[in-house]
């Protein structure tokens, strides 16, 4: 089990998550509730692969590990179920959602549409300091690729698209894309960590960057779709390869 989910050393109900003030420096009265924290932790734990797909999420151990009550765990599981990250098996309880290529293909297809549209809109109407933001995101991405830390690459890629979606004013679409990305996070990890090929990804991103900044909506959309097509092709290789194993687990 992940170290991310370690329980507090003592059962301190006044401070069950070991949240120190130093952890929340920005906002004095952080309106963040326990549920939000647990949600965030479990979501990232699943996305970053600390829970295996198909692994059971038993309530009471989770309570112990996170140092919170069952109510919180149950509400969190309900939320993650709605997000598609968790699946409820009748009379068995929640497990980390499984993924087959059929679903993954659908998800890549939806992303192609939504991200392509966002890039196109963005190219047409961007302004302000957007160019600087996108350049910075691209630079961060480049830097993280040299670190060969897949998690950094994933975050930088996310940031890159986040800038695009928000400039396009597509906040809801971004929300959808993020959730979809959560569901295929395992694939993203595989495509990123199997990095005998970091450069093709980066050249794709550069192409997107150039197309948007030159206000070529068509080219921007095409570049995004090419990027996703490439990613999905790599993902397909991996998923096909391990399909047998996954289905044996289920």
The answer to the question of residue 4 lying near its own copies (CB under 8 A) is no
**Rounded Cα–Cα distance for residues 2 and 5 (Å):** 6
Q: How many other CB atoms are found less than 10 A from the CB of residue 121?
A: 21
CB-nearer residue toward its own copies: 93 or 152:
93
Binding partner at 21 among DNA, its own copies, none, C-beta below 5 to 8 Å by kind: none
Q: For residue 167, give the H/E element and its range.
A: helix 150-168
The answer to the question of residue 79 lying near DNA (CB under 7 A) is no
CB-nearer residue toward its own copies: 180 or 228:
180
The DSSP bridge partners found for residue 89 are 93
Site for its own copies in 83-102 (CB under 8 A): 83, 90-91, 102
Contact with its own copies (CB under 8 A) among 109, 242, 247, 249: 109
**Rounded Cα–Cα distance for residues 9 and 11 (Å):** 7
The answer to the question of residue 43 lying near its own copies (CB under 8 A) is no
Q: For residue 89, give the H/E element and its range.
A: strand 86-89
**Rounded Cα–Cα distance for residues 104 and 94 (Å):** 21
Report yes or no: 39 and 76 within 8 Å, Cβ to Cβ. yes
Site for its own copies in 118-157 (CB under 8 A): none
Contact with its own copies (CB under 8 A) among 173, 190, 208, 211: 173
The region of 41-49, 85-93, 118-126, 178-186 touching DNA under the rule CB under 7 A is 85-93
Alpha helix ranges (H) inside 126-197: 130-147, 150-168, 171-183, 185-193
CB-nearer residue toward its own copies: 39 or 191:
39
> Minimal CA–CA distance to 115: which of 23, 221, 202, 192?
221
| Number of residues located near DNA, criterion CB under 7 A | 26
Contact with DNA (CB under 7 A) among 70, 195, 197, 237: 70
The answer to the question of residue 93 lying near DNA (CB under 7 A) is yes
CB of 84 to its own copies, least distance (A): 8
Residue pointed to by tokens 């047409």: 124
Binding partner at 58 among DNA, its own copies, none, C-beta below 5 to 8 Å by kind: DNA
The answer to the question of residue 18 lying near DNA (CB under 7 A) is no
Report yes or no: 136 and 95 within 8 Å, Cβ to Cβ. no
The residues, any chain, with a CB within 8 Å of residue 2's CB and separated by 6 or more, are: 45, 50, 51
Where along the sequence are the contacts to its own copies (CB under 8 A)?
Answer: 31, 33, 35, 71, 74-76, 78-83, 90-91, 102-103, 106-107, 109-110, 113-114, 117, 169-173, 176, 180
């Amino acid at each position: 089990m992940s170290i991310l989910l370690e329980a507090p050393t003592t059962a301190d109900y006044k401070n069950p998550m070991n949240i120190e003030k130093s952890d929340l420096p920005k906002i004095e009265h952080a309106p963040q509730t326990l549920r939000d924290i647990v949600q965030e932790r479990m979501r990232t734990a699943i996305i970053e692969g600390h829970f295996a797909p198909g692994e059971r999420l038993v309530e009471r151990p989770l309570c112990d590990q996170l140092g919170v009550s069952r109510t919180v765990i149950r509400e969190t599981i309900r939320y993650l179920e709605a997000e598609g990250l968790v699946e409820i098996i009748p009379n068995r309880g929640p497990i980390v959602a499984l993924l087959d290529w059929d679903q993954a293909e659908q998800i890549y297809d939806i992303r192609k549409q939504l991200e392509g549209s966002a890039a196109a809109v963005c190219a047409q109407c961007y302004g302000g300091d957007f160019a600087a933001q996108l350049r910075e995101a691209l630079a961060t991405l480049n830097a993280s690729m040299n670190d060969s830390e897949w998690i950094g690459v994933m975050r930088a890629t996310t940031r890159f698209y986040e800038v695009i979606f928000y400039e396009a004013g597509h906040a809801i679409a971004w929300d959808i894309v993020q959730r979809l990305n959560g569901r295929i996070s395992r694939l993203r990890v595989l495509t990123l960590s199997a990095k005998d090929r970091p450069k093709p990804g980066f050249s794709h991103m550069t192409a997107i960057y150039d197309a948007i900044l030159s206000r070529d909506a068509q080219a921007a959309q095409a570049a995004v779709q090419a990027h996703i097509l490439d990613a999905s092709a790599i993902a397909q290789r991996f998923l096909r390869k391990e399909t047998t194993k996954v289905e044996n687990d289920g």
